Amino acid sequence: MELTGAEIFVECLKEEGVDTIFGYPGGAVLFLYDELYKQQDNINHILVRHEQGAVHAAEGYAKATNKPGVALVTSGPGATNAVTGIADAYMDSVPLVVFTGQVPRHLIGNDAFQEVDIVGITRPCVKHNFLVTDVNELAMTIKKAFYIASTGRPGPVLVDIPKDITTARCEFHYPAEITMRSYNPTVKGNKRQVRRAIDLMLESKRPILYTGGGVVLSGAAHQLTELTKELGFPITNTLMGLGGYPSMDKQFVGMLGMHGTYEANNAMHHSDLVIAIGSRFDDRVTGNIEKFCPYAKIIHVDIDPASISKNVKVDVPIVGDVKSVILDMLEELRARTERPDAAALADWWKQIAEWQGMDCLKYNQDMNAAIKAQFVVEKLWEATNGDAYITSDVGQHQMWAAQYYKFSQPNRWINSGGLGTMGFGLPAAMGVQMAFPEETVACITGDGSIQMCIQELATCLQYHMPIKVISLNNGYLGMVRQWQEFFYQKRYAMSYMEALPDFVKLAEAYGHVGMRIDKPGDVEGALKEALAMKDRLVFMDFITERENNVFPMIPAGAGQNEMILV
């Protein structure tokens, strides 16, 4: 049967099992919206209030489910508004398919109304993109888009659809399978390399596992735990890898990197074997690359060959999917008679225990002074039994969330790491809440960040998303202020959030519940009260200590063992 492009679009989404999409209409996508209207029983479309919100929401959905998130926006300004979210997804390897409307084919290149070359604009920040030039290719293009977005190293794929394609007709046929001669990600790791890796693990005296977002993306948390237990090695997670290993476990030494723990960073620095799994040696992790892990051999498991030996020269590269490679490692390890060097490991753990003795995340909440952000996060963790979905914005509050919310499961910690996009938190929480309507979703945010996508409070009302917004309000662009305090002699250039709105009234104006909490003694009770409101969005404005700093901190140019502790 012949279908229109718009009908094909919706059929393809159904074929891909898409249940929810996030978007915003406009001229170029009117036929698509008309079709979505007719098929609203099949596909739930969430109307955001800004296209950036649509893409972040799709990211939140994807990060929580490991399924591709889908966004739909119109041409021109709709498409350019989506770019920040697309770049964010690219940096954090989030599987996303973004559909943009485009002017009709005969007008392309004419500076037509609401025309932008979105394929050109997004080329450097997508995994791939397409301009559909023939309705006969629409279904295949959408198939490819989902396939590319969700396989290999995941990432955003953009499909630009000219308006006249949405009315053109053709026979609809959705390909069940797809192969592309130019795209064949390697899943299975090389056996010989796996054996070499195990050799090194068995010889090592001071090993450490350094695992990242790739573990979460691969759905390999369970296998990672098994491997870590089998080896008895200490393990650290990147910001993106949190939840990939249970934080309360005794082998876990905390996050590493710029705001990582004293024990994690020192263990990295002094180790003789770094086993990197699905982590990419980001500069926030390595500190000064010249001083990085001077005594260590490095094993690196990554599905993207370009991640390997990009920043740090690797001794044993293993290209493959984390889950598959870990399973091979376990098999290899269990086939050996040798075991890791128990005596050496005992010494290593003793050394680590000494570093842990610094208690680097200790803080003191004076119950008569201002609320500490750390205290709020810790109480939130307790009140949610460590089991909530937590999204975050970008800044100090993000680091405190990462340090003090002890994640025990993957896909629960949803933040913007690579691009560090303020404004991510609230729309991402919407995506998570749509994926898991019954679960507790909290967005930890700052007084600066929340204002970057605050308009989405209206979306939350429309779709009854009972998100708990945890605003750690310090009246500053705190992360910027901290740098200015340390490195610019306290010249607080533009880091002061003068003229903050009354967030309680603002929340109420949007139809939600607002709460202001300014005493430490009220934190716990307020959290319990808010969490009990299962069907309401509660905006909790915690007035926190103004000039609080995130510690530990590795200053720019320093090595991992050169942390500022207080």
Ligand X SMILES: Cc1cc2nc3c(=O)[nH]c(=O)nc-3n(C[C@H](O)[C@H](O)[C@H](O)COP(=O)(O)OP(=O)(O)OC[C@H]3O[C@@H](n4cnc5c(N)ncnc54)[C@H](O)[C@@H]3O)c2cc1C
Write down the least CB distance from residue 298 to Mg ion, Å.
37
Residues that bind Mg ion (rule: CB under 5 A) add up to a total of 6
Residue with Cβ nearer ligand TPP (259 or 397): 397
**CA 143 to centroid of chain Cα atoms:** 25
Bridge partner list, 189: none
Find the binder of another protein among 127, 269, 300, 412 (CB under 8 A): 127
Residue with Cβ nearer ligand X (31 or 61): 61
Site for ligand X in 222-241 (CB under 6 A): 238-241
176 binds another protein (CB under 8 A): no
CB 376 within 8 A of CB 438: no
Q: Any catalytic annotation for residue 396?
A: no
E-strand spans in 278-322? 297-302, 316-319
189 binds ligand X (CB under 6 A): no
Q: Any catalytic annotation for residue 51?
A: yes
| Binding letters toward ligand TPP, positions 413-432, x by CB under 6 A | -------xxx----------
Strands 169-171 and 2-4: antiparallel
| Binding letters toward ligand X, positions 388-417, x by CB under 6 A | ------x---x------------------x
E-strand spans in 12-92? 20-23, 44-47, 69-73
149 binds ligand X (CB under 6 A): no
E-strand spans in 437-552? 441-446, 468-473, 513-517, 538-543
The number of residues making up the chain comes to 566
Give the active site residue among 2, 38, 40, 113: 113
Find the binder of ligand X among 74, 261, 271, 307 (CB under 6 A): 307
Write down the least CB distance from residue 310 to another protein, Å.
6
Residue with Cβ nearer ligand X (304 or 562): 304
CB 317 within 8 A of CB 300: yes
Site for Mg ion in 407-466 (CB under 5 A): 446-448
CA distances from 44 to 14, 39, 41, 102, 431 (A): 11, 9, 7, 23, 12
Long-range Cβ pairs for the range 32-40 (8 Å, 24+): 32/6, 32/72, 32/99, 32/101, 32/161, 32/166, 34/6, 35/4, 35/6, 35/7, 35/9, 35/10, 36/10, 39/10, 39/14
Encoded tokens for 511: 């139809």
Find the binder of another protein among 181, 250, 491, 534 (CB under 8 A): 181
50 binds ligand TPP (CB under 6 A): no
Site for ligand TPP in 124-183 (CB under 6 A): none
d(CA 61, CA 66): 8
Write down the least CB distance from residue 474 to ligand TPP, Å.
5
Q: Please give the residue ranges that form the binding site for ligand TPP (CB under 6 A).
A: 393-397, 420-422, 446-449, 472, 474, 476-480
Residues recognised as catalytic: 51, 113-114, 163, 479
